[in-house]
Structure 1
């Protein structure tokens, strides 16, 4: 952005009542810049937009909202990114409906990073969360910035993995950047602002409206070279992101799961429709042309015979203690003690109803 005056004009354009992204793009094509748009006559504007919108432009945006936005920009971590900026995300410019104005908090230099979108269920299983973190960390270490939507479940796990890796993470949110949604992710939002970035096409003060989230999904996929779906039900919003990724010409990847799990059905549907089945982060990295960064194997103690026996019977589907006792021939006390040890190691997760699931 060339100057504060330019920033103010762009902010004002984005705050005009009734003026959407498509109309802004048409106005910019016709007049060239926000300054020229605001200088145009009503008659000229009405050739591009409806009469009442042209009137709103000549009247100008709410000065109070502009003042709030300019105050927000005084923080060095905050900025706006527009079509006029050379660092506007280049991949995003090539989608059918790029947002003319993006609000940004965090590292601006990440905007044109090579990136992988990672999305999935808000009610993910422990295995799904573990996969989201592990795949994201591996991709981040290989040079791919992780982009997701900061929702509960898979999104949050993907951001954590991306931040642990070397290439950070970007959250595309469905509210104004002065609002953290969901509130439980406040700590994660602060970490993203410090080490990665948060972006939004919505003006400050925009609440968490249901219609905002499917709309922001096109930015998640649009800024990425590929999109990984970790877990998703058949009606999941993650499938919207995957569909938009396909429409934008991006690679779509899906992790398969149990045929009995509702959260695997969305991934299986994508695979049937041509998404690439992946079993490891290396599958994605190979497809996108990024060499994996391999960590040295962690040294572990040789497991005891009984622990090995129990671990074999755990499998990857959920299972009850009673079933484990029947399969392994071990007592309830022995199985309970070993499951607790596995939980502490992070290899097994406990689920509601007395069930357990192997994570790796």
Structure 2
């Protein structure tokens, strides 16, 4: 068994975490050696407890590895170990860094210039809008956007980066043979095609609750700073913020409505010393003033195809589209502005949605 396969196998043994793996490697020299030992050998050396010695010795190594490698090939995943040159440098420096990383897609070359955007799964329209717009602008400035592909803010952050044709990395709390949440299957594929979806968990690991706090240290570890957009008092986003502080990363908090439950966690961070930010420029100026100057001056955002100039719409569709922006607008307002009957406007809106030029929100609201 080669060393990378041995690390893959040791990573899957229940109870053996990254710290234990490193301890075993320091004691025995290699994962291959560890897996070759009997339960009595491991117990006699007292490198691990008797319970862990039994777990390692009794683990079905060959069966697991054969199945795992087949799944890795089937899903087009590659595996990085902390020995590999391609392993992210920003992760090497954090406590409890993952020994193994499963990667679907390709880690961006500018991974050292990354920022995390996290927040509530039950995000408001305001929160989703901020996460999407800011992620797009940061991606245009050259940042890789890191998040967890959860519902709400995470999804908005990844989507914003992709719309700007930027890079984004999703860190999952399950194995890469599972898409979680399932409604993000399309987003999973889009992220993998222009960035990477990564996990430290074996391919078939389900999305169990205890995995998510653990994966949050990777989100913050990959990033120069963490932007928190909406978080309740017990939100997982606050765990990411705590990891960021432990890792010496910056924490940025986007203020929200004072009477909103998803603002309480963010406002708590601000009280504790997190940096209040009200625009992307606040973040760029804090990270590096030079980045702000480039963003405002010489950096040209990726070219976006103009749906009007490209001929993607007829004259009626152009008229309706012209009254829709990145701020939600109600259908009644559109009918009034267009000066035509409701059925015609509704039909045009449906066509624009099918062309993925606009999006309908709850309450008959529309945005680009």
Partners of 1:126 and 1:349 within 8 A in 2: no
CA distance in 1, matches of 2:334, 2:176: 48
Work out the number of aligned pairs and report it: 325
Give the structure 2 partner of residue 163 of structure 1.
162
TM-score, with normalisation over the residues of structure 1? 0.79
Partners of 2:35 and 2:57 within 8 A in 1: yes
Q: Per the alignment, in what secondary structure is the counterpart of residue 215 of structure 1?
A: helix
Residue ranges of structure 1 left out of the alignment (5+ in a row): 299-315, 322-332
Partners of 1:232 and 1:263 within 8 A in 2: yes
Q: Per the alignment, in what secondary structure is the counterpart of residue 232 of structure 2?
A: coil
Partners of 1:8 and 1:66 within 8 A in 2: yes
Selected match of 2:12 from 10, 15, 24: 15
Partners of 2:4 and 2:81 within 8 A in 1: no
CA distance in 2, matches of 1:172, 1:116: 13
Question: Does 2:187 match 1:188?
Answer: yes
CA distance in 2, matches of 1:338, 1:238: 41
CA distance in 1, matches of 2:199, 2:168: 14
Q: Classify 1:11/1:348 alpha carbon distance in 2 versus 1 (closer, same or farther; 3 Å).
A: closer
| Structure 1 residue 63 displacement after superposition | 2.8
Partners of 2:39 and 2:54 within 8 A in 1: yes
Partners of 1:87 and 1:111 within 8 A in 2: no
Q: Per the alignment, in what secondary structure is the counterpart of residue 198 of structure 2?
A: strand
Partners of 2:172 and 2:199 within 8 A in 1: yes
| Structure 1 residue 255 displacement after superposition | 1.0
| Structure 1 residue 76 displacement after superposition | 8.4
TM-score, with normalisation over the residues of structure 2? 0.77
My pick for the range that moved more, 37-46 or 251-260, is 37-46
Deviations 1:195-214 (A, max 9, x none): 11011111111111111111
My pick for the range that moved more, 75-84 or 5-14, is 75-84
Question: Does 2:57 match 1:58?
Answer: yes
Give the structure 1 partner of residue 278 of structure 2.
279
Residue ranges of structure 2 left out of the alignment (5+ in a row): 307-326
Superposition RMSD in Å: 3.4
Give the structure 1 partner of residue 22 of structure 2.
25
Partners of 2:72 and 2:203 within 8 A in 1: no
Partners of 2:75 and 2:177 within 8 A in 1: no
